Amino acid sequence: MSRRELSDLYEFRARLEAFACELAAERAVASQLDELEQVAEAFEGATRLRDDSERIDRVQTTNEAFHQAMADATGNDFLSLVLATTRENPVALSSFRGFSRDELARSALFHRMIVSAVAERRGDRAGRLMTEHILQARDALVESYPMEDAS
């Protein structure tokens, strides 16, 4: 995958994830909001683990759980399916390997703010926060991604 393709994937994903937040703010029931809060908390805890290998594994697992819980809260199976395919890309799956502790902490903060906006039924705000969250991940990933061969 080229840097351009990676950037395109994340831009596409940012729009879909923002839409998911907007729908979740309209449709999520109490149990789904509770699950979102729990996985955001689990992600935050994972970012604080000392062991690098364990931290990366738990961050990836809890991040996937967060984004899947948001997709589930939309009640839109088609959107959930498309979002899952954008997250299953091998490059996306390994994206946290190059993140600093500060970048992980920022992601945890975004997860918390997004959940809060969804719980407050502020879909527009949740969508904007999710867009920024995904695009910041894109920027960090693209910056650390190997340059393509110019030939």
CB 10 within 8 A of CB 135: yes
On the question of pLDDT at 105 being above 60, the answer is yes
Cα–Cα distances in Å, from 17 out to 23, 73, 102, 142?
Answer: 10, 12, 23, 19
Distance CA 113, CA 120 (A): 11
> What one-letter code names the amino acid at 18?
A
pLDDT of 94: 66
Cα–Cα distances in Å, from 112 out to 5, 108, 122?
Answer: 29, 6, 14
Q: Which domains does the chain have, with CATH numbers?
A: 3-144 (1.20.120.530)
Residue range 25-55, pLDDT digits in tens:
999 999 999 999 999 999 999 999 999 889 9
pLDDT of 151: 40
Distance CA 106, CA 4 (A): 24
Residue range 55-104, pLDDT digits in tens:
999 999 999 999 999 999 999 999 999 999 998 876 665 677 778 889 99
Tell me which residue has tokens 């299953």: 88
> What one-letter code names the amino acid at 110?
F
pTM of the model: 0.92
CB 102 within 8 A of CB 65: no
Distance CA 141, CA 81 (A): 23
pLDDT of 146: 74
Rounded mean pLDDT, 20-27: 98
Distance CA 16, CA 61 (A): 20
pLDDT of 38: 98
